[in-house]
């Protein structure tokens, strides 16, 4: 069955559009909102306003680049949730308006499911069942993926997300937002064993990242009291050590999940899957553990509409459409 779908992502601070034709992603246009940097985090009100300013140009670019006319579309897909309400409203309303005007079906996509399905944009693709560690600024989940549209969360954070832990650690050191990529950059030049932090234990396959944030804050406070230049002098070692700690927390849970389920197809997704410490650790462990490790291209790790497009393609094939009365969901379980 022919399928030409326009997908829209606006859950947080990236306005993105993608056109997918018969399961092949043709483009992935992203407008990033830089203004949040000076506030040290995403300001929801500014994010939704920026989505409104960017959305027409981003969608037009995706359509023009794909040489697709609005009348050629078979469906319009959008991120329904989870995300920031004002941000989600922009993409959702735009998709609804377009679907109404063109009389085309609508497809709602769960942002977290889309992060997992980013693995099906390009080859190699994981075989079912596989485990996906979905790690972003808002989520930390271990997902058991049985099929494209059949997945369940078997472990998740009980407080902060790991991306938040990276960003907060960076903020405490005075680095700009989002600090995750900067910690990654400086960590490459540092010694990951320079400083040790203690692990918090959680039941089952769940995570907790609020303890490490406090631990890290007190660690720096004590070191800076002894040497006011501690952060500048040891920045690389501090970044390498905190990254090592966070990666170990993630990977040890993933090892347990693999042992419990017997699944050795291991994937990572979400913004933090761009982290080179996590990528290197998983690739290094793979032969020893007998794992096949799947890591998405950088472009598909952080928020993007290509992952919404691929998720929409599978929903289109399944005939899973949404009514025009749909509203965004700030929380939306997988």
Q: Which residues bind ligand KG4 (CB under 6 A)?
A: 12, 136-138, 163, 166-167, 178, 180-181, 184, 270-272, 274-275, 302-303
Give the integer Cα–Cα distance in Å for 241 and 234.
Answer: 11
Q: Is 160 in the site for Zn ion (CB under 5 A)?
A: no
Q: Is 184 in the site for Zn ion (CB under 5 A)?
A: no
16 binds, among Zn ion, ligand KG4, none (CB under 5 to 8 A by kind): none
With respect to Zn ion, which residue has the nearer C-beta, 16 or 54? 16
Greatest distance between any 2 Cα atoms in the chain: 68
With respect to Zn ion, which residue has the nearer C-beta, 13 or 244? 13
163 binds, among ligand KG4, Zn ion, none (CB under 5 to 8 A by kind): ligand KG4
Give the integer Cα–Cα distance in Å for 198 and 196.
Answer: 7
Output the six-digit token pair for 146: 């049985």
Question: Which DSSP string corresponds to 125-161?
Answer: -PPSSEEEEEE-SS-EEEEEEEETTEEEEEEEBSSS-
Work out how close the CB of 280 gets to ligand KG4 at its nearest, in angstroms, rounded to a whole number.
12
Among 237, 303, 312, 314, indicate the residue that binds Zn ion (CB under 5 A).
303
With respect to Zn ion, which residue has the nearer C-beta, 113 or 322? 113
Work out how close the CB of 246 gets to ligand KG4 at its nearest, in angstroms, rounded to a whole number.
8
Q: Which stretch binds Zn ion (CB under 5 A): 62-70, 218-226, 253-261, 303-311?
A: 303-311
- Of 224, 289, 225, which is closest to residue 259 (Cα–Cα)? 289
With respect to Zn ion, which residue has the nearer C-beta, 164 or 303? 303
Give the integer Cα–Cα distance in Å for 17 and 130.
Answer: 28
Local structure of 219: helix, strand or coil: helix
190 binds, among ligand KG4, Zn ion, none (CB under 5 to 8 A by kind): none
Q: Is 134 in the site for Zn ion (CB under 5 A)?
A: no
Q: Please, is 90 exposed, middle or buried when counting C-beta atoms within 10 Å of its C-beta (0-12, 13-18, 19+)? A: buried
Q: Is 164 in the site for Zn ion (CB under 5 A)?
A: no
166 binds, among ligand KG4, Zn ion, none (CB under 5 to 8 A by kind): ligand KG4
- Of 153, 144, 156, which is closest to residue 264 (Cα–Cα)? 144
Q: What are phi and psi of 14, to 5 degrees?
A: -120, 130
272 binds, among ligand KG4, Zn ion, none (CB under 5 to 8 A by kind): ligand KG4
Q: Is 136 in the site for Zn ion (CB under 5 A)?
A: yes
With respect to Zn ion, which residue has the nearer C-beta, 10 or 258? 10
Sign of CA dihedral 83, 84, 87, 92: positive
Strands 140-147 and 75-81: unpaired
Give the integer Cα–Cα distance in Å for 54 and 297.
Answer: 24
With respect to ligand KG4, which residue has the nearer C-beta, 27 or 134? 134
With respect to Zn ion, which residue has the nearer C-beta, 20 or 307? 307
- Judged by the rule CB under 5 A, the positions of this chain that interact with Zn ion are 136, 303
């Amino acid at each position: 069955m022919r399928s030409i779908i326009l997908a829209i992502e606006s859950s947080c601070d990236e306005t993105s559009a993608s056109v997918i034709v018969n399961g092949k992603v043709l483009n992935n246009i992203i407008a990033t909102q830089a203004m949040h940097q000076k506030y040290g985090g995403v300001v929801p009100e500014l994010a939704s306003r920026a989505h409104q300013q960017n959305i027409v140009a981003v969608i037009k670019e995706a359509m023009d680049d794909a040489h697709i006319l609005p009348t050629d579309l078979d469906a319009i897909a959008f991120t329904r949730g989870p995300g920031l309400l004002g941000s989600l409203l922009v993409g959702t309303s735009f998709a609804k308006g377009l679907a109404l005007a063109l009389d085309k079906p609508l497809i709602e996509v769960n942002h977290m499911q889309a992060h997992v399905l980013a693995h099906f944009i390009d080859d190699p693709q994981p075989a079912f069942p596989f485990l996906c560690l979905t790690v972003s600024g808002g989520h930390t989940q271990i997902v058991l993926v049985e099929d494209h549209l059949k997945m369940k969360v078997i472990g998740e954070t009980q407080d902060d997300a790991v991306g938040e832990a990276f960003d907060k650690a960076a903020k405490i050191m005075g680095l700009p937002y989002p600090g995750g990529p900067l910690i990654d950059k400086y960590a490459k030049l540092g010694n990951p064993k320079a400083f040790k932090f203690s692990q918090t234990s959680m039941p089952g396959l769940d995570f907790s990242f609020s303890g490490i944030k406090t631990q890290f804050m007190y660690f720096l406070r004590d070191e800076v009291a002894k040497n006011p230049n501690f952060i500048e002098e040891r920045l690389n070692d501090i970044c390498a050590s905190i990254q090592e700690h966070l990666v170990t927390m993630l990977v040890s849970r993933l090892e347990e999940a693999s042992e419990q389920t017997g699944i050795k197809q291991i994937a990572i997704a979400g913004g933090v899957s761009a982290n080179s410490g996590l990528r290197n650790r998983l690739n290094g462990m793979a032969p020893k553990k007998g794992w096949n490790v799947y890591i998405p291209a950088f472009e598909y790790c952080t928020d993007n509409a290509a992952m919404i497009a691929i998720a929409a393609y599978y929903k289109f094939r399944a005939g899973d459409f949404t009514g025009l009365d749909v509203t965004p969901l700030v929380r939306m379980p997988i």
